[in-house]
Every structure is written in structure tokens, then in C-alpha cells.
Structure 1
Amino acid sequence: MDTFTPAASQDRRTLCRLDEIPDGGATAVDAHLSDGDESLILLRRGEQVRGYLNVCPHAGRRLDYAPGKFLLKNDTLICAVHGATFDQVGGLCIAGPCRGEHLRAVAVRVEAGEVKLAQDSA
């Protein structure tokens, strides 16, 4: 699974407040990463947040059905275009046209109630 590293000058850039993501839900934010500006999916479980590029590996389209609105069911994220179903924890496609592929992870962290790009994506 590929992980994108934030641009050095933007390591601590705040993406959003934790309370802007519903617990058990998701939101989309724009971020400046080392290879350019990207839309990210932020998935929240309690105080933990996982980040992925908002791009389906099947056809390269965004996963949201409307800006920042995602289909979530039973710990999965479903692509609104072709129905690819991804495990929220690891980003693995478990059903649909890109089964076995992964969403591209982006390292994020929660600090003082804010979701930020992590300095170290390893």
C-alpha cells in the first residue's frame, strides 16, 4: 500500500477540527502533499482518524457521491461510482471492480483536537 508524505513546508498543516468529522463518519478536505494538492478522505473512530486520497484505484474518480459525502456501511467505505467496497481500517478493496487493491493512505494525526498531516508517514 502506498503512503503519501506531506510536503515538508506543510507538515503541521491543520486539515480540520476533530469535531468536524462525525464519530463513525467521514469528511473530505483539501491538502497540499509532496506531489501536489489532493482531496483527502478523513475517517473518524473516536479519537482516531485515518486518511486516504479521495481517489478510487479502479477508475481514478473521487469516492464521494457529493462533495464530502461518503457511503459508509459496516466499517466499509463504498465508491459512489462503481461500488468498490473498501475496509476503512486498511483501505483494502474487499468487493467490486478493484478487489485486492488499496486506497492510498495519507498519514494524519490528532493533536489538541485538530487533525493534521503527520510529519512521518512511515
Structure 2
Amino acid sequence: MESLKHPLPPHAESTAVATPLALLEHLADGGFAEAEALLGNDAESLLLYRDGDTVRAWLNVCPHAGRRLDWAPGQFLKSRDGLLVCAAHGASFELQNGLCTAGPCRGESLRAVPVVVRDGAVFLAGE
């Protein structure tokens, strides 16, 4: 007797479990964190910013000179008026959309990385 094989649907063949970038409880409201993520084939440093139950993420790279935004790993500067400040050259970025409002890259934007908050953790969107 011949046995019939039924292939698994593509989504069922993968047993990979998404790894969270951060736990929401470890990210203060209005605070920043740095996370490492694999984007395509490249490991990238990400800047995470929490605003209530929402988290925004950008590549941790200033568009001015391609340097990291943090002054020490995971340590970011925030101005009194609530802008992210690049530690290298002082460019200031809005935290709603990553737009540079002052400094050498005025008018340029940080490169957004889509993330979602699920079950109290931050994940890359689509994972």
C-alpha cells in the first residue's frame, strides 16, 4: 500500500521563534534603548524610543556622517525640548518621525525600522 504524503504549508515548516528586541517593561516611557537586529543579511544597531504603549525604531545612524547617534552604547541624548540629539555633531531629530530639525543634516530623516509591540515585548514587524 502506498502512503500519501501531504507537504506542510510554507508557514508550518519553519520552527523559528521571533526574538524580542526589548521588553516594554525595561524601556522607560519617553526613554531610549539600543538593540541589535538582523535586517536582511546585516546586523544593525537600532535606536528604540518608547512613547506610552508605542515604540518607534530607527537605525542608530546619523544621516549627516553615518556615525552612531549614542554617546556610549545605548546612551542617547534628549534635549530639554524633547528632541533626540546626535552625540557626534549635535543634529536634533523629532521623535515622532525622525526628521532632523537642526544641525548639519537639517531636513534629512533617520531611517525608520518598523516594529510592533506584542505581549509586552518589541519585535521587528513581520516576525
**Do they fold alike, i.e. is TM over 0.5?**
yes
Aligned pairs, how many?
112
Relative contact order: is structure 1 or structure 2 higher (C-alpha 8 Å, sep ≥ 6)? 1
Shift of 1:13: 3.1
| Structure 1: tracts of 5 or more residues without a match | 1-8
Alpha-carbon RMSD across the aligned residues, in angstroms, is 1.8
User: What residue identity is the alignment partner of 1:68?
Assistant: G
1:16 aligns with 2:22: yes
Greater share of strand: 1
Structure (1 or 2) with the larger CA radius of gyration:
2
Shift of 1:11: 8.9
1:109 aligns with 2:116: yes
Alignment match, 1:6: none
Structure 1 runs of 4+ aligned residues shifted over 2 Å read 9-13
Structure 1 residues 1-122: aligned runs within 5 Å = 12-73=18-79, 74-119=81-126
User: What residue identity is the alignment partner of 2:24?
Assistant: L
| Structure 2: tracts of 5 or more residues without a match | 1-14
% same residue: 53
Q: TM-score, normalised by structure 1?
A: 0.86
Question: Secondary structure of 1:31's partner?
Answer: strand
Q: TM-score, normalised by structure 2?
A: 0.83
Alignment match, 2:10: none
CA distance in structure 2 between the aligned counterparts of 1:16 and 1:23, rounded to whole angstroms: 13
